[in-house]
Structure 1
Amino acid sequence: MQSYRLKSGFRMFGILATTLLAGCAQMQVGGGKNPVGGSAAGSASTGAASKLEHCPRPLGTLAVEENINDPWYAVLTQQYKLPSTVPLIRLMVQQSNCFVVVDRGRAMDSMMGERGLAASGELRGSSHMGHGQMVAADYIVTPSIQFSEHTGGAQGALSAIGGSYGAILGAVAASMKSSEASTTMMLTDTRSGVQVAAAQGSAKNIDFAGGALLGQFGTGGANMGAYSQTPEGKVIAAAFLDAYNQMVQSVRNYAPQRVAGGLGTGGVLAVDGASKQGTGGSYSLADAQRKLAELGLYTSKVDGLPGPGTSHAISTFQQANGLSVTGQLDAATVNALQAR
């Protein structure tokens, strides 16, 4: 009878432990596989995540810049022993073919070193290392991470099991950890400094703490420091994948934000007493319409709203005054109108 109870107990333990393991595997991001992996060369890629958004043609060039002085970076590198997110994000971006990646990291220093050798005359003449060859970054993407960790609730679910089996299963439950990461990506236009897109992504992973019970990660666990080797690394990679996908989905339908009078010329929320001199101040589109009407160039209603009539009047004024003909109320046009 005692032998039967022992066998039954271990059979029950095996069923429950298997159930725990199965539940854990089902909730691992990417089914336990690294969500971001593979390779990319030009527009071709191999091993890209099946859920990664893809574009038929790039939307521009892009550089990835992370702020190593932010608190999240210290958590990433010191607590989780994970490396910079830049290579991970750059691989994902190139695999998607939505942007052409340009290097602005350590390789940039090496490139400038090569150019320094060329300028000093040390390189062969056939090296073709000349001026005007570098490609500008149209956009900068800035990543960040928000961490959240807590212990799973499996301990309470097993509290009713008594005896040695309950103690063993309780230890297993206590070692279960739920990790969650929330990430953000900011996309900024390098020429204007305008933020053109922002996205937030998240992912969650339940695993056994340290990997000791699974024997999957060994005693090194989080110290292995790779996004494909730890639960923390996988969940962060999945959260960035989620954020990037949402950003791509948004920019596919991108429509620029427009401000009456043009961006950076003072806006429509003018502060009382703000100067209208210098490079634009609070000179509004309505002010420009009034001046253009006085000059006989604008005949429509003065409403401060952009339109074809306003654009045509501004273009005519710009052409007559030797300015760049853009049809937009830029700083040079404002100064010229104020001088009349």
Structure 2
Amino acid sequence: MSVTIKDVAKLADVAPSTVSRVIANNPRISEKTKRKVKEAMDYLGYHPNFNARSLANRSTQAIGLVMPSSADKTMQNPFFPEVIRGISTMAHEQEYALYMSTGNTEEEIFEGVVRMVQGRRVDGIVMLYSRVDDNIMAYLQEQNFPFTVIGKPFKNAEKITHIDNDNFKAAQEMTEYLLSKGHERIGFVGGNLNLVVTIDRLLGYEKAIRKAKLPLKDEYIVHEEFLKEGGQEAIKELLALENPPSALIVMDDLMSFGILHTLNELGLSVPDDISIVSFNNVMLSELSSPSLTSVDINIFQLGYEAAKGLLDCIQSPKHNPKRVTVPYKLVERQSCRTV
């Protein structure tokens, strides 16, 4: 005979309605009562029927994740598994499942999001990127569907809950860090210019160069994909210059690994021949040769706060949108030298 809510209520000495509220994580129930009910559920081996609950309250108990590109390409970058780990941790705490977008093109990803929304497969969506011109973000706003963004929206940022670092300030500070070490020929290896994070970091780099009264050289600025191959292509282009940079600011550690690999093949040394400062501080940054000086942007926290913000949007539809700025810090290692 299966255990029922009434059995749990009897053991916990509360009303069946209180058990239901605990299962729904109602904020009006005290932590003491929640703990007592959950102990009774564990003792009796009671597991809530979330399917029945979802039908009753029109909730799916699922969060949709939207990638910037196909999953096989996106997952090559350590940023995304780590940010998803942050999202997953918060989702697990609130007993939500994750539903990931699929598709190899922007059109296919957009169609998948439409199916998520129209089919009510998820209660809300986390976008793992922010583009300058994005059909998905415009569609979600048009549908008044709960969503949050990791990154700063290019338009209507004050109307959208988003989680971000201060990328402009971070890039400016990293450029000033290289300037303080005596570097004047500083290159910038960025990602797709349609991504807001690329624009913010590029503007921060340019601000620091102008502030130092140095010439801003277009040939020192290269944009490639956030992949190892992107870094390899970028460094080949920069080394072909008559007077290549002595130091680089690289938008992403995975690109930096590609740069280190190519430089090693060419017999060039980091940091003796060229210094590198990177972004993201993924686990492999410390293990690379040489270990990579990188900006720790708290990737896990970005994901955790994005899921938390989304659940606020779902549970309180009339809440005011907010921006959460996650702190960053420079982790100095061996890829940078003083001139």
TM-score bracket for this pair, using the shorter chain length: under 0.3
TM-score scaled by length of structure 2 = 0.25
The structure with the larger Rg is: 1
